[in-house]
Amino acid sequence: MRLSKKNKALKILFVAPEASPFVKVGGLGEVMYSLPKALREIGHDTRVMIPKYSSIDSAKFSMTMAKEGLLVPKGDVSAAPENDQMICNVKKFLDPDNGHVVTYLLENEEYYEQRGSVYGYDVDPTRWALLSRGALEFVRTNDEWRPDVIVASDWQGGLIPNYIKTVYKDDPILSKIATAFSIHNLYFQGMFDHRFTSEMDYDDGQSGIPPIGDPRMSKVNFMRRGIRYADVINTVSPNYAREITTPEYGELLENLLQERRSHLFGILNGINYDAYNPETDSYITHKYTAKTLKERAKNKEILRQKFNLPKGGNKFILGMVSRLSEQKGLDILMEAIEPMLDNFDFELVVVGQGDSKYMSFFTELERNYPNIKAHLSYDAILPRFVFAGADAILVPSKFEPCGLTQMEAMRYGAVPIVRKTGGLADSVEDYDPLNQKGTGFVFEKFDKYALFGTMVRALETYKYPKLWEGIQKRAMTANFSWSVSAKEYAEIFKKAIDFNLQSK
């Protein structure tokens, strides 16, 4: 696709700790696969940079050397020049299955290849500081290709805007490159609990960055620095962008976010419409579309078999596919679910793992109620059976920057029951029985009564098949493709370039 002069093609580099298909721990890995591809499809030159972990299969991904012996400064002004450098390599992979997106992999034996996992090490702040400065040094010394915009993801990338605006402020190459800081979850700001930081350890985000490897790096608030120095900040939904400027959701950064409000944007994440398609999904038994929902009903029996629920009948099946944590609203569900089960006839299937408190709760619930079935371990395939067979999907989150589960479920015709927060509010429209509008059931107040009432509302509506089918069809035809989001991302990247020019 050729772009007009007005819509000039951009060169964009995404820097992140994970990216599918190389390594994927959470939603970020999926975004780092789908968004660069979608931007490339509308004419932009997108590339990705991640660490080269030992878990990445070099035989599967045929890489070439892009830069051998890359010297990355630690930033220790007191050290001799030869002692202030770390040596890395940069490998390159061209993905023919992902729109020919180029991925660069930063190779360092000590911090990446000796540690196969993505997260969970005491030296993580050093690992992400090395990724940030390594990416910048690669861009600075790479004559073959240079981006117009660097997109840094979450707290792990927060030092990239900081380095550019301070350490490299006079660099003839890097100072001209705009930065976007992408917040997927404000709650995680570094390797410490930001809510209980002593005055001595508090990072105002304006002091110099400690040298790479310095113990002080563990006290640096990478998130604060990304927000402070980036040309634009974006979150993964418009509603979350508004919420984080308030004390309730701002995680002690609301004042800074209010200061930078004119540079703050929210764009709803998309989902992979090729991977999540009930018409072609190889994992589900009976394929269907919004026009052939009768076929979908057959998947309900398959779901019953998978979870050993009683055969036959047409009981309402409520599904839950979730990480089991406080964020996901499980505390109010724990208070509401037993009164629901004692007064209404329905079935519940749960897929997820997480905190022992919630794992124990669902184990006990399953023991006491024959119509409750839980699979409390990770499973990549089972959620598709839930999406294709359950009548509704429950997402009662305390906060939710974007959320993909509700979108994936809607794609399969599982009606979402969600709390009005973050991306859930942006993606699910509350059912209006008078005007026959809406794609799900939404409650606002975070308490057991609001959740209870909304679940009852869904159960009662289910008794009217035509009305329920209308909600399903509207949910299935809602557009959450990356092609929509990619156009919005391109616009804010152009704003980043303008802001960067204005700051000179």
Instruction: List, for residues 363-376, the tens digit of each pLDDT value.
Output: 999 999 999 999 99
DSSP code, position 481? B
- Model pTM greater than 0.85? yes
* CB burial of residue 142 (10 Å; 0-12, 13-18, 19+): middle
Strands (E) in 155-253, as ranges, are 178-183, 232-235
Average pLDDT over residues 339-344: 96
Pairing of strands 45-51, 11-15: parallel
Which two tokens mark 496?
A: 């980043």
- Contact criterion met (CB below 8 Å) for 478 and 409: no
Reported confidence tier of residue 99, pLDDT bands at 50, 70, 90:
low
C-beta atoms surrounding 69 within 10 Å: 9
Q: Which residue has the tokens 């805007």?
A: 161
C-beta atoms surrounding 436 within 10 Å: 12
Percent over 70 (pLDDT), the chain: 98
Least confident of 28-32, 47-51, 127-131, 344-348: 28-32
Task: Supply the pLDDT for residue 6.
Answer: 55
**Cα–Cα distance between 88 and 93 in angstroms, integer?**
17
Task: Supply the pLDDT for residue 2.
Answer: 45
**Cα–Cα distance between 272 and 264 in angstroms, integer?**
25
Reported confidence tier of residue 411, pLDDT bands at 50, 70, 90:
very high
Most distant pair of Cα atoms in the chain: their distance: 77
pLDDT at 153 over 70: yes
**Cα–Cα distance between 201 and 471 in angstroms, integer?**
51
Contacts for 262 with CB less than 8 Å, ≥ 6 apart: none
Average pLDDT over residues 330-357: 96
Reported confidence tier of residue 98, pLDDT bands at 50, 70, 90:
low
Contacts for 372 with CB less than 8 Å, ≥ 6 apart: 341, 347, 348, 349, 350, 362, 365, 366
pLDDT at 235 over 70: yes
Tell me what the pLDDT averaged over the chain comes to. Answer: 94
Reported confidence tier of residue 145, pLDDT bands at 50, 70, 90:
very high
Reported confidence tier of residue 4, pLDDT bands at 50, 70, 90:
very low
Q: In what order do the strands lie in the sheet with 45-51?
A: 64-73, 85-95, 101-107, 45-51, 11-15, 149-153, 178-183, 232-235, 264-266
Reported confidence tier of residue 312, pLDDT bands at 50, 70, 90:
low
- Contact criterion met (CB below 8 Å) for 256 and 264: no
Q: What is the pLDDT of residues 191-219, one digit of tens each?
A: 778 888 888 888 989 999 999 999 999 99
Task: Supply the pLDDT for residue 78.
Answer: 80
**Cα–Cα distance between 183 and 211 in angstroms, integer?**
25
Pairing of strands 346-351, 316-321: parallel
Task: Supply the pLDDT for residue 201.
Answer: 84
| CA atoms lying within 13 Å on the CB side of residue 27 | 18
Q: What is the pLDDT of residues 65-97, one digit of tens each?
A: 999 999 999 998 888 887 899 999 999 999 877
pLDDT at 300 over 50: yes
**Cα–Cα distance between 123 and 130 in angstroms, integer?**
11
Decide: helix, strand or coil at residue 92.
strand
**Cα–Cα distance between 385 and 393 in angstroms, integer?**
12
Decide: helix, strand or coil at residue 317.
strand
DSSP code, position 173? T
**Cα–Cα distance between 176 and 504 in angstroms, integer?**
9
pLDDT at 1 over 70: no
**Cα–Cα distance between 411 and 38 in angstroms, integer?**
19
Which two tokens mark 394?
A: 């429950």
**Cα–Cα distance between 201 and 119 in angstroms, integer?**
23
Q: What is the pLDDT of residues 104-119, one digit of tens each?
A: 999 999 999 888 789 9
Strands (E) in 166-291, as ranges, are 178-183, 232-235, 264-266
Average pLDDT over residues 230-249: 97
Instruction: Output phi, psi for 192, to 5 deg.
Output: -165, 165
**Cα–Cα distance between 234 and 227 in angstroms, integer?**
9
Between 195 and 180, whose confidence is greater? 180
Domains of the chain (ranges; CATH) run 11-270+483-502 (3.40.50.2000), 293-479 (3.40.50.2000)
Percent over 90 (pLDDT), the chain: 86
Which two tokens mark 195?
A: 């809510």
Between 152 and 58, whose confidence is greater? 152
Task: Supply the pLDDT for residue 5.
Answer: 44
